[in-house]
Structure 1
Amino acid sequence: MGTEGNPKLLRKLAQRVKELREKANLTQENAFNDTGIHFGRIETGKRDFSVSTLKKICVYLQISMTDFFKGIKE
């Protein structure tokens, strides 16, 4: 999948994932080893990812999806 739809939004989502991962003191490698999700690809903001992947990330980082989106600036 590309970023044709809304690259600006995708960058914001990517930034939020990175912010939360770093806040949890996790490296991309730790997060990948724990989840099988390639955080590096997501955090570049160049690759789209699914809602189910986002849900897995939120569960892993112990944050609700509501709080995840509250942290995204308009």
Structure 2
Amino acid sequence: MEENDKKELLNILAKRIKELRSKKGITQEDALNDTGIHFGRIEQGKRDISFTTLFKICQYFEIPPKDLFNKDFDRITL
């Protein structure tokens, strides 16, 4: 995977997580206190997170992992 593709994936993920958090009316600080996950770093699109962190985020928002990836990821070609 090329570096530009990786950056685009991280940016899409950052946008999606921020969207989920905002829809729930949760601040980054609340999310950090609730999960121990630093959402600010993720939402900047600069941090590649682990599968377990992704899974914890899905649990936190009470969504299946497929719902995290159902929006905007289809425009990436691997």
TM-score (norm 1): 0.89
1:46 aligns with 2:46: yes
Determine which structure has more spread, i.e. the larger CA radius of gyration: 2
Deviation at residue 71 of structure 1 after TM alignment: 2.1
Q: Which residue of 2 aligns with 1:6?
A: 6
Identity in percent: 56
CA distance in 2, matches of 1:48, 1:15: 13
The letter of the residue matching 2:14 is A
How many residues were matched structurally? 71
The letter of the residue matching 1:49 is I
Structure number having the greater helix percentage:
2
TM-score (norm 2): 0.85
Q: Which residue of 2 aligns with 1:20?
A: 20
Deviation at residue 51 of structure 1 after TM alignment: 1.1
The letter of the residue matching 2:20 is L
Three-state SS of the structure 2 residue aligned to 1:49 is coil
